[in-house]
Every structure is written in structure tokens, then in C-alpha cells.
Amino acid sequence: MREPDMLELMCKLMQGAIELPGKGTEGDLAGGLTNRNKTIVGDALREGYSLTSLLCAVDMRKSSYFY
């Protein structure tokens, strides 16, 4: 994935994390989100990005995503 595409993906992931109920402006992808919340945000962006790119961006294993 090209760097501009990865930056756009990260921006969308952060926006999605902020919109999660109960997270407010503290939607931190690195340590503030549970795997469940990362999955919710990833599912919202699944149509526009590959699963591999999404998992890499949120630092999550494929087995955790499908669990």
C-alpha cells in the first residue's frame, strides 16, 4: 500500500474510533481501543480497503479479528 493511501486509511480509522460510543475524543488506535472496537471500525471501512491493510493499521492479528 502506498504511503498516501496508508495515511488516508489511518485518518479514517481515527475518525471512526472517535465516533465509537463512549470513546469521545479519546479514540486512540494504539492502546485505547479493544479488539472489539477495532473490529467495529475496521468493518465500517472494509469495502474500501483490504483486510490485510486494515489489520496492519490497527495492529491486530487476523485470528483476533474473526474471533
Which stretch of 29-33, 50-54, 55-59 has the lowest confidence by average pLDDT?
Answer: 29-33
User: Given its phi and psi angles, is residue 7 left (phi above 0), alpha (psi -120 to 50 degrees) or beta?
Assistant: alpha
- pTM > 0.75: yes or no: no
Domain spans in the chain, listed from the N-terminal domain onward: 3-62
Q: Is the pLDDT of residue 65 over 80?
A: yes
**pLDDT tens digits along 6-26:** 888 888 888 887 877 765 545
Q: How far apart are the first and last CA of the chain?
A: 26
Q: In the prediction, which pLDDT does 1 show?
A: 67
Q: Which residues, 6+ apart, have CB-to-CB distance to 22 below 8 Å?
A: none
Of residues 16 and 51, the one with the higher pLDDT is 51
User: Given its phi and psi angles, is residue 24 left (phi above 0), alpha (psi -120 to 50 degrees) or beta?
Assistant: left
d(CA 24, CA 13): 14
